[in-house]
Amino acid sequence: MLVKEVMTTTVISCSLDDNLEDVLVLMADKGIRHAPVVEGGKLAGLVARRDALEFLYQQASLDAAHLTDWLFRSDARY
């Protein structure tokens, strides 16, 4: 069996400047888990849905932790 017999020929790609959440929506809509990242017509990398979701989750957790710290500081005024 050859790679060309099983490969995807209609490739959904993104660029370095695309919004990550938009790319995740596109990936979900198309039912794909990985998308090549293209810059200047050349492969720059690969974005995986799981890695992107984990990154956004960590960012949200950090934001929530920062907000919690700020809200419950002793000098915070309500």
pTM (2 d.p.): 0.74
pLDDT tens sequence for the chain (78 residues): 999 999 999 999 999 999 999 999 999 999 999 999 999 999 999 999 999 999 998 888 877 777 777 667 656 555
- How far apart CA 71 and CA 78 sit, in angstroms, is 8
Q: 56: Cβ–Cβ under 8 A, 6 or more apart, which residues?
A: 20, 21, 24
pLDDT at position 62 is 76
